[in-house]
Amino acid sequence: MKKCINSTLAGLLVCGMVAGLVCPMSGDVSEAAAKSIKVKKKVSISVGESYVLKAKVKPAKLKKKVKFTSKKKAVAKVTAKGKITGVKAGTAKIVAKVKGTKLKATCKVTVTKDNVTPIATAPVATQAPMVDGTSAPTEDPFANLTMPTKVDIEEDLITLEIGSTYEIKSSVLPEDAKPQAKFTSQRDWVASVDENGKVEALYPGMTFIYLTSIGDETVTDRIEVRVVDTRIPDDTFDDYRANIPHGQMITITYPTDYRDTPTAEARVYLPPGYSEDEEYNILFCSHGGGGNMWAWTSGGCAADKILDNLQADGLMDPVIAVFPNCAIPYDRNRNYPNIPSSAIVSDWGNEYFLLEFEILNNLFPYMKDNYSIAEGPEHAAVAGLSMGGGQALDVGLHNPDVFKYVACFSASPFLGDNQYFVRSYEDAEKLNSQIKLFTLMVGSEDGLANAAGNSNAKKFIEVCRKYELNHMFVENPGFNHEDASWCRDLYKFMQYAYK
């Protein structure tokens, strides 16, 4: 585990964080000798392809002491001298380190599948040229067939539990039409469909199943399929289990540009057996109003026990979870870095607006510099409850290129009916192209879900459905705005994140 530094200056002097900094050393290389090491930041290769990564070291005489290692050998392997070879599709981190020092530099390697030469399709059969040199007309393969004039799916909408199946009821007219029509799924990883219209629910979200004439794509119909997981775990899901490996809770101090103090604290969960030789998924988890960084693990929820149990049961890969202090007072007269001029701050959201920018510009970079975090949005998730659920929407839906998994528990957009995440099909299409899992979960007795309150959660979901945003909405029956609901939400969400 990398050392966490509490003072501001020391936090900026973490070894290897910035090329050129002098770090304590051991071995046969003196402090004065080793100045810096740099490598190319990003490399893309295909499976089986090789690339020689070169390190620039100051002074140059230390070049012979550089050793290269791979953080994910299953994706990309590397020789001690820097020859990288793609093993399988994915991303890996290659580390170049000066022997006998703590100086190092990293390169993100993206490995793509083998370049496959497209197989040429057989040409459409045509008649041989006529004797006079002219060609006969090309034959229309559908010329002598009765084409479908109408296809129809009986239902408009079905909701399926994950793992269940459903037979679509459909018809094609005229009945003797040939060729008939075929079924396809918009997102076959959410729900697949076979040639007979049998649907299998695979992953939380929504998709459209289409029935389309083989000969005329304009003759089509569709059904919306919502895939949900409404299971309620029993009361032991967050119990402490003595006979399983347990993670470690620590407190970190990181630099910040958005508070009244130059540093801030957060609680961090490190998974059982944490090692710098492995790369881990990361979760940022926000507390509710009036809470703090302790709320998720020492308040009404036991997030650390939930994560331990999920990993022990094989329901989740190891994850590093970060629990920050999420209320940051916003000063409208202060100039904050890296905040777009178009950013909107609601009148009552003064303390909740800045977390998005602190995570992006301070906290996430700090975690990457000090812990072994896997690169890419497919390894990053954000979740939150109540106030923190609104912040999770800000962080996740504003930055789909950073977070591929977003969960909102018992919350709605801070601007209520005037939300600014999904206002058009184009907005939804952009999010759909980048986010794999977006879920909003709320207790059935919570005012955010029923007429006793403002129903803002349901109002937002109706907008998501209108513009066809891929999502899962679940009401927990009998639960209110309470920890018992949110703990179960986290337990459920983490079973699908990073998959």
| pLDDT score, position 488 | 96
Please name the fold of domain 150-228. Immunoglobulin-like (2.60.40)
- Cα 451 → chain centroid: 33
Q: Is the pLDDT of residue 335 over 50?
A: yes
- Top pLDDT among 207 and 344 is at 207
| pLDDT score, position 135 | 56
- Top pLDDT among 419 and 93 is at 93
- Is the pTM above the cut of 0.75? no
H or E segment to which residue 472 belongs: strand 472-476
Query: Rounded mean pLDDT of 257-280?
Result: 97
Q: Is the pLDDT of residue 10 over 70?
A: no
Among 199-213, 357-371, 372-386, 402-416, the least confident range: 402-416
Among 41-55, 281-295, 439-453, the least confident range: 439-453
Query: Rounded mean pLDDT of 38-62?
Result: 85
| pLDDT score, position 20 | 33
Query: Rounded mean pLDDT of 340-363?
Result: 85
Total Cβ atoms within 10 A of residue 263? 16
Look at domain 8-112 and name its CATH class: mainly beta
Domain ranges across the chain? 8-112, 150-228, 248-493
Query: Rounded mean pLDDT of 372-377?
Result: 97
**Identical topology for domains 8-112 and 150-228:** yes
Q: How many residues does the chain have?
A: 499
* Band of residue 1 on the pLDDT scale cut at 50, 70, 90: very low
N-terminal to C-terminal alpha carbon distance within the chain = 26
| pLDDT score, position 11 | 35
Among 124-128, 241-245, 429-433, the least confident range: 124-128
> Helix, strand or coil for residue 413?
coil
- Top pLDDT among 360 and 235 is at 360
* Band of residue 61 on the pLDDT scale cut at 50, 70, 90: low
Residue type, 360: L
Please name the fold of domain 248-493. Rossmann fold (3.40.50)
* Band of residue 115 on the pLDDT scale cut at 50, 70, 90: very low
Within 13 Å and on the Cβ side, how many CA atoms surround 389? Answer: 22
* Band of residue 452 on the pLDDT scale cut at 50, 70, 90: low
